Amino acid sequence: MNPVFPGSVNAAGQMATLGVMGGGQLGRMFVHAAQRLGYLTAVLDPDAQSPAGLVSHHHIQTDYNDPAGLSQLSDLCQAITTEFENVPAQALQTLAQARPVAPGAAVVGIAQNRIEEKAHFAACADVSGVTCAPYAVIETQAQLQAVQDERPDLLPGILKTARLGYDGKGQVRVKNAAELAAAWAELGGVACVLEKMLPLTAECSVLVARGWDGQVVSFAPQRNVHVDGILAVTHAYEGNMPTALATRACDAAVAIAHHLGYVGMLCVEFFVVDDGSEHGGLVVNEMAPRPHNSGHYTLNACDVSQFDLQVHAMAGLPLPQPRQHSPAIMLNLLGDVWFDANGQPREPDWQAVLRLPGTHLHLYGKVQARTGRKMGHLTITGPDVASVKTVARRTADLLHLPGLEAI
């Protein structure tokens, strides 16, 4: 691919423009990063009030599969990316006939389907050094019966829909065969995977950027805490997990990106399991073909953010190795923050929060707060881990955030 340089103008007098499929908060932060470099931006999203569309030079308000909208995006842009994995892969394939698209439709398609994703993890286990949890595919009544009869080792487990499950959605914990059958029926008998429940000691993720030429850079692994299936806290600082384990996770994520022939920003999530060893074993959970919630701290704690690298990768620019200059803790802000214990609306105490040292507030421009909806995040940075933890605990207490005991 020929690089798309920021600020360049083509023969038609059009300034270099980068496009993104999807208008959520990840698209908004991508748009900000691209504009800071000097690019124009275009967002395709059906929501008139989409966070990214509101701040972009162009907002194409159409369905993701709309031929006219896709044509307009192709005409405007020199390169195109996506901000969430459930953009139809076929739409990305259509765009790729006219413009460079990163990541490509094939790898986004893998991430959209847990069955294909787990098969990929298993296929590259020899090079990545890690594999996924034991699992079985359930697409038919016969497969359900076979699991019940032949794979009792998978119970207790978690039944997950193959498609459209995220932030704890489309997942049911099951203890026995009867609960498994009931859960599959509850999920509508759609294609699922049954994943064995493992003795988890921690969760972590690795952010990798890979260019068109195969160059790869990555951030150090971050340790994550989830509450009810939604990320609550990210710990990003030296010593957040054992060095040997962090190295394994980083090497595995890079290997997975290479195996996919990936281009763009990739997040690979891992479980740390109690396998009797000193620091525990590593199991790959899932991947996100885009920037990730757990990487938002890079906006304030690193000299290059995950969104900067997303822009560099898709545009064919060099990928600088990011450097983290401050320890950080990221706190997710869900819509719950805007309601008291009785469900009555309230304004968060930003006055008290923003008075604390090292607090960086990012709200996503969403007008309506709802329980469980991602409204923003707070990153706390400081000169050392102890001071960051102190401020993070105080912040979480002021905002009544979950996961306080994990800070």
Binding-site residues for ATP, in ranges, read: 114, 160, 165-171, 195-198, 203, 226, 285-286
Closest CA to 84 of 35, 30, 167, 27: 27
Residue owning tokens 């803790």: 329
Omega prior to 156 cis, within 30 of 0? yes
Alpha-carbon gap, residue 72 to 42, rounded angstroms: 10
User: What CA–CA distances, in Å, run from 282 to 229, 247, 276?
Assistant: 19, 11, 12
Do 53 and 363 meet the contact criterion of CB atoms below 8 Å apart? no
The amino acid sitting at 32 is H
The amino acid sitting at 89 is A
How crowded is the C-beta side of 116, counted as CA atoms within 13 Å? 10
Structure tokens at 197: 């429940």
Do 223 and 204 meet the contact criterion of CB atoms below 8 Å apart? yes
Beta strand spans in 112-254 (E): 135-138, 157-161, 171-174, 192-196, 200-210, 216-218, 222-227, 230-236
Binding-site residues, in ranges, read 114, 160, 165-171, 195-198, 203, 226, 285-286
Beta bridge partners of 80: 19, 101
Alpha-carbon gap, residue 293 to 193, rounded angstroms: 24
Do 282 and 269 meet the contact criterion of CB atoms below 8 Å apart? no
Do 161 and 185 meet the contact criterion of CB atoms below 8 Å apart? no
Do 164 and 86 meet the contact criterion of CB atoms below 8 Å apart? yes
What one-character DSSP code corresponds to residue 164?
A: S
3-state secondary structure (DSSP) of residue 300: helix
Alpha-carbon gap, residue 297 to 306, rounded angstroms: 9
